[in-house]
Amino acid sequence: MTSAAVGARAFSRGRGERVHLTLLCFSGAGGNEPVFYDWRRQAPPWLALKSVVLPGHPGRFREKPAIDLVALASMLVEEFSDTLDYPYALFGHSMGAILAFEVARFAQRQGRPATHLFVSACAAPHLPRRVPLWDNLPDLMLQQRIAKHSTAGPNHVKTPELMELLLPIFRADVRLCETYKYKESSRLQCPIVAYAGTSDPSVTHEAIRAWCRHSSGLFNRALLPGDHHYLERHREFVIDDLCRRLATFVNLS
């Protein structure tokens, strides 16, 4: 088993056809593999989906949670070394967008740039975080914040057993966000596409537009009706849109 197999789960292998490109998917704080389960039904045969599993999350419970987001990104680049030797793109939602961005920067420095970076429900990394400090909140208040902002969604709040499992994971992920320090570096060579909900209180339209600063290539954005959980309603649109963009970089002949 390669090291990359530790940190990812492959949901689609092209249904018998040759895979031309891999999409690495990074969930938001407290999120896990099931967030991207339904994506495989819409994925074209030439696209492989891999959901990134972080240390301390389900599937990697025996490992200590990461305490530094940039160091975590560096570690993931090593874990996915075999994948990054071939065409790949990155998709990240909320916290996952920042992590995907840092993974893209590390990989590019190694001469293995992504074809695309897709970010969702997240302000550009150089901007101050708008989300208040959550790490030291009491459990009840943290549960309320999870229901409002987390990729895991409000259904977890209604399930005490799952919430008991989710809280320490979410605290660890929140700590990664709150301690993240952006550092200037070369722009990404790949296009960046940013998605967001029009009524997301944590991400302004200007903060989405500011992602353009981080690519020397094309930048596009799509604002869709909804809040931080807009992706639940517009998943099909987002998958179709990113696949359309990826197809232009894939030789299907």
Per-residue model confidence as pLDDT tens digits over 136-191: 666 667 676 666 655 555 444 456 776 777 788 888 888 898 889 999 999 999 99
More confident residue, 146 or 109: 109
List CB contacts of 129: < 8 A, sequence separation 6 or more: 123, 177, 178, 180
Per-residue model confidence as pLDDT tens digits over 189-223: 999 999 999 999 889 999 999 999 999 999 999 99
Per-residue model confidence as pLDDT tens digits over 113-126: 999 999 999 999 99
Cβ count near 98 (within 10 Å): 24
Per-residue model confidence as pLDDT tens digits over 225-235: 999 889 989 99
3-state secondary structure the chain: CCHHHCCEEECCCCCCCCCCEEEEEECCCCCCHHHHCCHHHHCCCCEEEEEECCCCCCCCCCCCCCCCHHHHHHHHHHHCHHHHCCCEEEEEECHHHHHHHHHHHHHHHCCCCCCCEEEECCCCCCCCCCCCCCCCCCHHHHHHHHHHHCCCCHHHHHCHHHHHHHHHHHHHHHHHHHCCCCCCCCCECCCEEEEEECCCCCCCHHHHHHHHHHECCCEEEEEECCCCCHHHHHHHHHHHHHHHHHHCCCCCC
Global confidence as pTM: 0.87
Q: Are 55 and 73 in contact (CB under 8 A)?
A: no
Choose which CATH entry (3.20.20.70, 3.20.20.140, 3.40.50.1820, 3.80.10.10) describes domain 3-247: 3.40.50.1820
Per-residue model confidence as pLDDT tens digits over 34-67: 678 788 888 899 999 999 999 988 888 889 989 9
Q: How far apart are alpha carbons 193 and 91 in whole angstroms?
A: 9
